[in-house]
Amino acid sequence: MAETPTTLSTCIIRPSSPTPPQHMFLPSTDSFWRWFHYNQRILFFKLPNHYNSLVAHLKSSLALALVDFFPWAGRVFEQENGRLALDCNDAGVPFIEAYIDLPFSSLEDEGFKHQPFFKNFAPHGDAIRWTGPDLPLLSVQVTRFPRDEGVVLGIGYSHIVADGSSVWHFMKSWGEYARGVPLSIYPVHMREVFSPQRLLLPPPSTEDESDKSSSPFPEGESNSNIELVQHDFEFTSEMLKKLKYIATSTYSPTDHAPFSSLQALSAHIWKHVIAATNVDKSKETIFYLLADMRSRMDPPLPVGYFGNAISGNGTKALTEELQQENLGTTALRLQKLISTLDETFMRESYGKVEVLPFSKLLEEFRKDFNMVRLHVSSSPRFPVYEVDFGMGPPSCVRCPHIRGNGEMVWFPGRDGDGSIDFSLALPKPVMERLEQDKSFLSF
């Protein structure tokens, strides 16, 4: 059996009807992501229908979806002033068909737990950043298994075009086109809402601006040479209820808003990962998260806003503090962090991106990067199990490859009962200690 899929064919899917040619403005909320790697997501489906008819159906419905979600079919280019723009030219989305000599049931029987070769189920695994106008912004791969037990649908995409909310909006809509039902939410293209005139700009930098055209990361800096191990964890709804109870009972509810499941679970993970990291007690650690800002703006952005509308920040604590304080105290740190992510913070943050060279912007980021760091991306609120192409929801959704030490990717649990699944990457000895910590999954 082979663990590397064999490519069978590749074609380009374009919108089923031509979209208006235009150069779309990309605000700093989008262009900031030019320096960061492409993301990959994979969806496992049981295959009740014939494989060939499924693939034809996926291609035709994707062409329909690209009419409304036309930015995916375009290409990003750099203008003479150095600013990125999106050429909506219907260049299209590569669609790859592949085959792997591995029983689908062997993955299913193990709960689709992470395997290193999962990264081969989605395109653009080697794209560490946007490199120019020839690079597609979205690519799709469908991998077939022996006896057509199931398929894996993998996507690789540039963060320049869309955040997680927009990605799963698109995926759900693609499924709606495939089933022939009206879109539940239409995309809204209004990126000018984050134009420089609507941001809070700092004074211009006196430093040379020429470095805005080169990466702020030397090759390999954003990826440690330490061997990382990726593992999937599942927290049931009952486990989350218990964590919320523990957090609340250890910190008076009169002193704060009720803790959410996300805050209690994040606090639990932070404390246990830091304990497993086994570093000096005086070392500082940071928990970093991204928030969807659509509902936090005044007035709120449309739910269907298509693009990037996220903002991030971190909260720091000494290792010794995390080890000594109770779960509620740590959860309160995270609750306060979330409260900082308001419209003013976002407009100030991206105002800096408009004015300052990246070397200046990322000075603090580089310092934080050297800390023991946890970083949450994705969300258990994304409708990942509402993606249905006519064969039912996916059996499982995974992030096939996490690149950063301490990075987590969260999804809703497969049971749809409020449970949470997440993938976490840590150095091998740290992961081993975390898995041996009985109190991490039993409390």
Query: Sorting pLDDT into bands at 50, 70 and 90, what band is 212?
Result: very low
Pick from 66-70, 144-148, 186-190: least confident: 144-148
- Burial class of residue 284, CB neighbours in 10 A (0-12, 13-18, 19+): middle
| Residue 147 backbone dihedrals phi, psi, to 5 degrees | 60, 15
What integer pLDDT is reported at residue 179 of this predicted model? 97
Distance from the Cα of residue 131 to its chain's centroid: 20
pLDDT band of residue 213 (cuts 50, 70, 90) is: very low
For residue 411, which phi and psi values (nearest 5 degrees)?
-140, 155
More confident residue, 303 or 281: 303
Looking at residue 364, what is its pLDDT?
66
- How far CA 73 is from CA of 70, 95, 142, 181, 185, in Å, comes to 5, 12, 18, 22, 20
Which residue would you say has higher pLDDT here, 424 or 211?
424
Return all residues near 368 (Cβ < 8 A) that are at least 6 apart.
286, 288, 314
Nearest-angstrom CA–CA distance, 365 and 35: 13
What is the pLDDT, as a whole number, of residue 207?
A: 60
Angle at 94 between CA 425 and CA 408, to 5 degrees: 15
pLDDT value, residue 211: 47
Q: What domains are defined for the chain?
A: 6-211 (3.30.559.10), 228-441 (3.30.559.10)
pLDDT at 222 over 70: no
Q: In the structure, what pLDDT confidence band is assigned to residue 359 with cuts at 50, 70 and 90?
A: confident
- Work out the number of other CB atoms within 10 angstroms of the CB of residue 440: 18
pLDDT value of position 1: 57
Segment holding 234, helix H or strand E: strand 228-235
- CA–CA gap between residue 236 and residue 347 (Å, rounded): 37
- Taking only the tens place, the pLDDT of each residue in 399-410 is 999 999 999 999
Distance (Å, whole) CA 254 – CA 260: 15
Averaged pLDDT for residues 371-386: 94
pLDDT in tens, 260-287: 999 999 999 999 999 999 888 889 999 9
Q: Give me the pLDDT at residue 224, please.
A: 52
Over the Cα atoms of the chain, what is R_g? Answer: 22
Contacts of 430 (CB under 8 A, 6+ apart): 273, 276, 277, 278
